[in-house]
Structure 1
Amino acid sequence: MAAGWFYLSLLALSALGLMCILFTIYWMQSWHGGFAWDGTISMFNCHPVLMVAGMVVVYSAASLVYRLPQSWVGPKLPWKITHASLHLLAFILTVLGLVAVFKYHNNHNIPNLYSLHSWLGITAVFLFACQWFLGFAIFLLPWASMWLRSLLKPAHVFFGASILSLAIASVISGVNEKLFFSLKNTTKPYSSLPGEAVFANITGMLVVVFGLLVLYILQASSWRRPEVGITTEGQPLLHERE
């Protein structure tokens, strides 16, 4: 029954994550002219889509790998590789998202990293980069001892959830910032809730709900990798929860 609830929750979560991406694409396509990679506003429009896809949806998928019941038995190395690979994909999408916004800002003489949204975002990306490289070096490569892995694992788990929380906060502040800029000189200001504001607010709420559900699944003890007591050469953490 527990496994059934998990897969049902995972299916709902996957649909919600896809909705977050599709809603962001629709917002940028319908109200801001679509996408390009040419340094114009159309290149900037790639930024929110890539950041939602990378820092929120794919990042969450990577974080949930060890909650799959199939990962609870047998060798752990394939799941470690899957976990690291999905995080790497999330990081690549995130870097592309940063390139889109920095190139647009630089081409139009707009300052970089001046808002709270940008501070939250760059902090999340910096911690993500540190988390991935340290995780790869300590938990995937075979040189680290079980003692070192056990020592660093709580911090690895804590920062994993913290980075997702920062990413969600960055998305929400970014939605508000975009609406303030795009609606400040229109006949229907943000305060009157025109169609774009309603749609963007809904998109932001979807991201919040998605993130909270991911954090709940990560914290639910019944859906964690159980202690199986299997240790093999080169995989000293097989017996630990992840």
Structure 2
Amino acid sequence: MASSESTQPPPPLSTTDAEPAVPTESEPLLGRPGDAIQKPDAPMFLNLVLGTAWLSQLGALLLLVTTWSAVFLHKLGVLISPHPLLQSLGTFLLIQAILILQPTSTPAAKRTGQRIHASLHLLSFLSFISGITVIETNKHVNHNAHLHSLHGYLGVITGTLLFAQYMFGIGIWLVPGIFGGEEKAKALWKYHRYGGYLLLVLVLATIGAAADTDYSKGVLKIEGWTFGLGIALVVVGVFPRVQLRKLGIDRSR
């Protein structure tokens, strides 16, 4: 006697976290299901411009080019010029790390994306640390006050949280045993993603505050609207691609 139940197999599950690796079931924050999903066998680098990502790339490049051109078009200082150069480079790499991993859906793509994501974040972290070291050395040598601006306070808060986020992600990925095993670690991925998007906002806010510092306005002559436009483009490029299932949100229920 034939069974009345459907014999269709369930969608395959990812080996890296619990959501199904089916493009049509991955709904972005804005748009239709599958709009911001890496297609099977598509080159990984296309993730950097998929969907609205090209807007983020324009914003990231605007922030980077504005900063670097302003620094090199004015008198360089050994203990201050590297700071905006390195921090803007770190921000650019951080944005690429997010964009490359966002659209992945299949287990193979996720594994590759995670390696690239981690590598870009390592480079970003080294850039941020180097930039912080330069400016702190400058303050120490010249006996300048620490944390005298909104930019400074946001920088310290964001840098501390970024380090915690890096350690959290590495722990889930490489040593899941510290969280009670692989299955329990997988359940924590969504919190890592929430933290990542929050930190992107904090990084962008820190950049926005940098445009209001005496050095940016008085020495580099940076126009605040250029930073504002770059930040806005990054936001409207990244957040519409957020996959709700990866955040534990299922609108189909």
**Length-normalised TM-score, structure 1:** 0.71
Q: 1:204 aligns with which of 224, 227, 231?
A: 227
User: Counterpart of 1:109 in 2: which secondary structure?
Assistant: coil
User: Counterpart of 1:212 in 2: which secondary structure?
Assistant: helix
Gapped regions of structure 2 (runs ≥ 5): 1-33, 37-45, 249-253
Aligned to 2:75: 33
Deviations 1:77-123 (A, max 9, x none): 22221111111111001011101111111111102223221111111
Q: 1:50 aligns with which of 77, 86, 93?
A: 86
> Is the aligned partner of 1:162 residue 2:185?
no
Query: How much does 1:217 deviate?
Result: 3.6
Equivalences for 1:183-202 in 2 at 5 Å? 196=221, 199-202=222-225
**Length-normalised TM-score, structure 2:** 0.68
Equivalences, count: 202
CA distance in 2, matches of 1:19, 1:179: 19
Deviations 1:136-173 (A, max 9, x none): 01123453534422442232112111111111111111
Q: 2:105 aligns with which of 72, 75, 92?
A: 72
The answer to which structure, 1 or 2, has the higher relative contact order (CA under 8 A, 6+ apart) is 2
* Pairwise CA RMSD: 3.0
86-95 vs 104-113, which deviates more? 104-113
User: Counterpart of 2:211 in 1: which secondary structure?
Assistant: helix
Gapped regions of structure 1 (runs ≥ 5): 35-40, 184-194, 228-242
Q: 2:64 aligns with which of 17, 21, 24?
A: 21
Aligned to 2:98: 63
Query: How much does 1:176 deviate?
Result: 0.2
CA distance in 2, matches of 1:42, 1:206: 29
> Is the aligned partner of 1:114 residue 2:180?
no
User: Counterpart of 1:44 in 2: which secondary structure?
Assistant: coil
Q: Which amino acid aligns with 2:75?
A: G
> Is the aligned partner of 1:130 residue 2:164?
yes
Aligned to 1:186: none
CA distance in 1, matches of 2:167, 2:202: 19
Aligned to 2:35: 2
Q: Which amino acid aligns with 1:72?
A: S
Q: Does structure 1 retain, via aligned residues, the 8 Å contact 2:176–2:182?
A: no
CA distance in 2, matches of 1:180, 1:63: 27
Distance 1:57 1:92, change over 3 A: same
Q: Does structure 1 retain, via aligned residues, the 8 Å contact 2:56–2:235?
A: no
Deviations 1:16-56 (A, max 9, x none): 312211110111222x313xxxxxx34312212211221x2
CA distance in 2, matches of 1:129, 1:168: 16
Q: Does structure 1 retain, via aligned residues, the 8 Å contact 2:79–2:134?
A: yes
Q: Which amino acid aligns with 1:129?
A: F
Q: Does structure 2 retain, via aligned residues, the 8 Å contact 1:66–1:72?
A: no
Q: Does structure 2 retain, via aligned residues, the 8 Å contact 1:44–1:104?
A: yes
Query: How much does 1:8 deviate?
Result: 5.5
CA distance in 2, matches of 1:61, 1:2: 19
Q: Does structure 2 retain, via aligned residues, the 8 Å contact 1:16–1:210?
A: yes
Q: Percent identity?
A: 20
Tell which structure's C-alpha radius of gyration is larger: 2
User: Counterpart of 2:50 in 1: which secondary structure?
Assistant: helix
CA distance in 2, matches of 1:13, 1:180: 23
Structure number having the greater helix percentage? 1
CA distance in 2, matches of 1:64, 1:201: 25
